[in-house]
Chains A and B, each alone.
Chain A
Amino acid sequence: MTVTSAGMPATGTAPSATGSAPAMPVSFQRRVIRTGLLGAVIALYLCMVGIVPIFNARPLVQGVISLGQAALFLSLFATGFVATRRVAESSSRLIADGAIAGGLSGVALSALVLVGSMVDVRAFMPNASPVLYGILTFNLGTVGFWIPMALGAVLGGLAGAVGLASPRLRRSLFVGLISLFALGLFAGLIRTPMLALPVDELARLLFASDGLTLIGAVVVLVLSVGLHHLQRTRRLDRQFAALPPSQRRRIQIPLIALAAVFVLVLPQGLGSFFAQVIAIVALYVMMGLGLNITLGLAGLLDLGFVAFFAVGAYTVGLLTSTAEFGIAQWPFWAAVPVAVIVAMVFGAFLGLPILSIRGDYLAIATMGFGEIIRILAGSDLMKPLLGGPRGIINIPKPIEVPPDSLLAGPNQIYYIALIGAALIAFVAWRLRASRLGRAWIAIREDEDVAEAIGINLIQTKILAYMLGAAFAGLGGAVFAALVGSIFASSIQLMVSINVASLIIVGGMGSIPGVIVGAIFLIGLPELFREFSEYRFLFYGIALIAMMQLRPEGLLPSRIVRREFQHGGGDEPPESSTSPLAL
């Protein structure tokens, strides 16, 4: 309702603007208006679903702009930017077009403020509240209804002007904005460790208790834009690749050592919440690397991945718990190998009946398997064994330490999870380069040819399921120790979907891709717990955006990248002659 009523006046102005323009730019004009209206819908949506009010609680630059406002401004700016993109016109036209598009979006918001002050729509639009209007008008209320309109026009015009800048400068500005957002969002995370170090004065200068200070924002913007713009055109990674191997190693080793030290001290500086977030990311990295074998390398879809996670977690629970359902009270370290082996047995158990199933049907069959395990875990049948919804509690920490030690609480799991993930990444990397890895790739690429060149399909596929399951089982084992308990409610279809999504976002078949995917899809939402309501909204947007903009994933493997880059054209000769470095 609100959308249309707000959109009406905008539509009304459209014909006149179009009519006055000469014949040629008509389509440009129409595009500007269409983009402006689309921007209006998006801006209204951001307001009405409550994103703006909720994000408003978090300052981006303290005392100046909140995250909610920034999101809104960004949408206005983006509207202007999109409206003037790909149009080669005079500079004044660009700015005018941007201002029209951005202004149109702003008009919608102004209309919202006006309509909202007259009619109370909160009964069915709970977010259309005076709080929202306050945000939109910088607390001026109805009198300030013109503010969004003006702001939209200014921001849109600005965006049009940015379109005039050289691509390089534009990219620098973009990097600057991203840096501003990133640092503003993670200000707390950066400030805390800095305060503990001799740089506490600097921390206080740049970062507020939440978000950046005004000085900090200016510094970040100037530094990031400046550095990016001044950066030499020849990229560092190219220069690095051109170095001889011995020199390359001389740079690599200290870098790796530095990263290792950083990773080791991280939880000490950041506190246990952050350590726990990283531990969860590491858990998903383990599972992701597991599914990366089954799906990424062998091409076998598995949407029931949570089953192996459950098997690992429950095995550790049963073997180590000191409470009701514990059967052995083993130490964690003794239980882990058993958990991995049991998970592998389940992997084989899943693999056998579905060996000859291909393609889409695999998705259904494996999802069914995952659901069977999930429902069994919470069922009355298994209740005497697994505790049903009450679960298994009192799973001891892997290493018993006094509460004030460096290894207390989540920190310990942080280290264990990271070591586990690193170990698994190493194994996955070696596996991929192995003969077995080649067999997996062969059956992914063409099962029939793989058979014809002498690959044992049954063995290869079963091994793919088993090793994928082993990695997920290890993830589950660490999860049990992290939480200290395991409940049927922890076993959710969503876990399988998360793992599959992070592989897709990261880049199918690529190990760094799994890590990046886990950070994006698991780590970021964990850090923004307060916005958890919108988690799946962002998830969906991220996946759709990914498929549109970068279907090969963030860090794709070479084969996948090839497919997307050279859809039928010739592959330019690659410099590498490495043995099947896929």
Chain B
Amino acid sequence: MNPTPILEVDDIHVYYGNIHALKGVSLTINKGEIVTLIGANGAGKTTTLNAISGLVPSREGQVRLRGETISGVASHLIVGRGIVQVPEGRRMFARLTVEENLRMGGYTLTRAADVQAGIDRAFEMFPRLKERRTQVAGTLSGGEQQMLAIGRALMAGPEVLLLDEPSMGLAPVLVDFVFDTISRLHAEGTTILLVEQNARMALQIADRGYVIETGMIVLSDLAANLRENDTVRKAYLGIV
């Protein structure tokens, strides 16, 4: 079977002023895959996601979605094309309720019925959110906030979901829950690029993985191989 690349990142360079944050990052994500991007703090993971979704401009290189280049396309249009990012640190509209947050996530949808269907789907996926429908998002627990962040991103009906450290700061039970959710989305056909510090979990559910260090991809392989890789074991899995 010949996998079809849905998202291709081709040698992108991102600068913050003089800081050369991404020094030629290339990734390929095939349709229906979970690909994980692992790396230390400050390696450039978030920057890579932001470059894909157009939140930061890349000075060189290209991002292609289904073969069409999307670098230079304004970020709000990229959401409409099917790439949605769940931002790092579960950023909520803290003063809006759970339901209002979800509704906001469906901003790019033009039909009210689609929005309602999306909300129903999010509630079905996260019954806990349904219970807390009218609660203000800022008062949700960390785990609930992560559910809401994912639910809100799903509202736009993304083909590719970019997840930025969804397990950050969660208790082990909730980490398991988040990863279960990711597997479920994967099973439903969503393509996922998962940025994680928790390399152990990420490599367990991913098909393939990339390792990024100081703005460069230093390793890429099937997740199963990375799990066995000595460098990865030492640096990211804490196994000596």
Q: Footprint of B on A, CB under 8 Å?
A: 435, 438-439, 441-442, 445-446, 448-457, 559, 562-563, 566, 568-571, 573-574, 577, 579-580, 582
Q: Which of A449, A451, A582 is the one whose CB lies under 8 Å from B76?
A: A451
Take A449-B87, A452-B55 as given contacts and tell me if A571 and B104 are in contact as well, using a CB distance cutoff of 8 Å. Answer: no
- Which residues of chain B from 64 to 94 have any CB-CB distance to chain A below 8 Å in the complex? 74-80, 84-85, 87, 91-94
B152 at the interface (CB under 8 A from A): yes
Chain B residue numbers with a CB within 8 Å of A454 are 75-80, 84, 107-108, 156
Kindly provide the distance from the CB of B150 to the nearest chain A CB, expressed in whole angstroms: 13
Contact B76 A438 (CB under 8 A): no
Can you list 9 A-B contacts with CB-CB less than 8 angstroms, sorted by A residue number? A435-B107, A439-B107, A445-B93, A451-B76, A452-B55, A454-B84, A454-B107, A456-B74, A582-B96
B53 at the interface (CB under 8 A from A): yes
B95 at the interface (CB under 8 A from A): yes
Take A438-B107, A559-B96 as given contacts and tell me if A453 and B152 are in contact as well, using a CB distance cutoff of 8 Å. Answer: yes
Q: Which of B94, B100, B153 is the one whose CB lies under 8 Å from A582?
A: B100
The docked-state distance in angstroms from the alpha carbon of A449 to that of B152 is 11
| 8 tightest Cβ-Cβ pairs between the two chains A and B | A454-B79, A454-B108, A445-B93, A456-B76, A571-B136, A454-B76, A574-B134, A573-B134
Kindly provide the distance from the CB of A512 to the nearest chain B CB, expressed in whole angstroms: 19
Chain B residue numbers with a CB within 8 Å of A455 are 76, 107
B interface secondary structure, majority? mixed
Take A573-B134, A574-B134 as given contacts and tell me if A453 and B105 are in contact as well, using a CB distance cutoff of 8 Å. Answer: yes
Contact B108 A562 (CB under 8 A): no
Contact B139 A449 (CB under 8 A): no
Q: Which of A448, A456, A571, A582 is the one whose CB lies under 8 Å from B139?
A: A571
Q: Which of B78, B103, B139 is the one whose CB lies under 8 Å from A438?
A: B103
Q: Which of A445, A448, A452, A453 is the one whose CB lies under 8 Å from B95?
A: A445
Take A445-B96, A446-B91 as given contacts and tell me if A453 and B104 are in contact as well, using a CB distance cutoff of 8 Å. Answer: yes
The docked-state distance in angstroms from the alpha carbon of A582 to that of B136 is 12
The docked-state distance in angstroms from the alpha carbon of A442 to that of B93 is 7
B62 at the interface (CB under 8 A from A): no
The docked-state distance in angstroms from the alpha carbon of A574 to that of B139 is 15
B135 at the interface (CB under 8 A from A): yes
Chain A residue numbers with a CB within 8 Å of B197 are none
Chain A residue numbers with a CB within 8 Å of B48 are none
Contact B103 A562 (CB under 8 A): no
Q: Which of B53, B80, B99, B133 is the one whose CB lies under 8 Å from A452?
A: B53
B145 at the interface (CB under 8 A from A): no
The docked-state distance in angstroms from the alpha carbon of A269 to that of B91 is 56
Chain A residue nearest to B138 in the complex (CB): A568
Chain B residue nearest to A581 in the complex (CB): B100
Chain B residue nearest to A572 in the complex (CB): B134
The docked-state distance in angstroms from the alpha carbon of A582 to that of B134 is 12
Most chain B beta-carbon neighbours within 10 Å: one of A449, A563, A582: A449
Contact A562 B136 (CB under 8 A): yes
B97 at the interface (CB under 8 A from A): yes
Take A438-B104, A454-B156, A579-B103 as given contacts and tell me if A568 and B91 are in contact as well, using a CB distance cutoff of 8 Å. Answer: no
Chain B residue nearest to A454 in the complex (CB): B79
Q: Which of B74, B87, B96 is the one whose CB lies under 8 Å from A448?
A: B87
The docked-state distance in angstroms from the alpha carbon of A439 to that of B93 is 12
The docked-state distance in angstroms from the alpha carbon of A439 to that of B103 is 11
Contact B95 A563 (CB under 8 A): yes
Most chain A beta-carbon neighbours within 10 Å: one of B91, B93, B103, B153: B93
Kindly provide the distance from the CB of A457 to the nearest chain B CB, expressed in whole angstroms: 7
Contact A571 B79 (CB under 8 A): no
Kindly provide the distance from the CB of B12 to the nearest chain A CB, expressed in whole angstroms: 19
Kindly provide the distance from the CB of A433 to the nearest chain B CB, expressed in whole angstroms: 12
Contact B100 A452 (CB under 8 A): no
The docked-state distance in angstroms from the alpha carbon of A455 to that of B80 is 10
Most chain A beta-carbon neighbours within 10 Å: one of B87, B112, B152: B87
Q: Mark B117-140, 1 if CB is under 8 A from A, else 0.
A: 000000000000000011110110
The docked-state distance in angstroms from the alpha carbon of A559 to that of B104 is 15
Contact A457 B107 (CB under 8 A): no
Take A569-B139, A571-B139 as given contacts and tell me if A580 and B76 are in contact as well, using a CB distance cutoff of 8 Å. Answer: no
The docked-state distance in angstroms from the alpha carbon of A448 to that of B75 is 11
Chain A residue nearest to B149 in the complex (CB): A449
Chain A residue numbers with a CB within 8 Å of B79 are 452-454
Contact A571 B134 (CB under 8 A): yes
Kindly provide the distance from the CB of B151 to the nearest chain A CB, expressed in whole angstroms: 12
Chain A residue numbers with a CB within 8 Å of B139 are 566, 568-571
Contact A457 B76 (CB under 8 A): yes
Chain A residue numbers with a CB within 8 Å of B136 are 562, 566, 571
The docked-state distance in angstroms from the alpha carbon of A307 to that of B10 is 49
Chain A residue nearest to B139 in the complex (CB): A570
The docked-state distance in angstroms from the alpha carbon of A448 to that of B94 is 13
Q: Which of B80, B91, B99 is the one whose CB lies under 8 Å from A449?
A: B91
Chain A residue numbers with a CB within 8 Å of B156 are 453-454
Chain A residue nearest to B81 in the complex (CB): A454
Chain A residue numbers with a CB within 8 Å of B152 are 453
Chain B residue numbers with a CB within 8 Å of A451 are 55, 75-76
Chain A residue numbers with a CB within 8 Å of B87 are 448-449, 452
Chain B residue numbers with a CB within 8 Å of A559 are 95-96
**Given A457-B76, A562-B95, 17 extra CB contacts under 8 A:** A438-B103, A446-B91, A446-B93, A448-B55, A448-B91, A453-B108, A453-B152, A456-B76, A562-B136, A563-B95, A569-B139, A571-B97, A571-B136, A573-B133, A574-B134, A577-B99, A582-B100
Chain A residue numbers with a CB within 8 Å of B153 are 453
Chain B residue numbers with a CB within 8 Å of A446 are 91-94
The docked-state distance in angstroms from the alpha carbon of A456 to that of B53 is 13
Most chain B beta-carbon neighbours within 10 Å: one of A439, A580, A582: A580
Chain B residue numbers with a CB within 8 Å of A569 are 139
Q: Which of B74, B107, B133, B135 is the one whose CB lies under 8 Å from A570?
A: B135
Chain A residue numbers with a CB within 8 Å of B92 are 446, 449
Kindly provide the distance from the CB of B123 to the nearest chain A CB, expressed in whole angstroms: 13
The docked-state distance in angstroms from the alpha carbon of A452 to that of B54 is 9
The docked-state distance in angstroms from the alpha carbon of A461 to that of B136 is 25
Chain A residue nearest to B50 in the complex (CB): A452
Most chain B beta-carbon neighbours within 10 Å: one of A448, A449, A452, A566: A452
Chain B residue numbers with a CB within 8 Å of A573 are 133-135
The docked-state distance in angstroms from the alpha carbon of A145 to that of B202 is 86
Contact A571 B107 (CB under 8 A): no
The docked-state distance in angstroms from the alpha carbon of A580 to that of B94 is 14
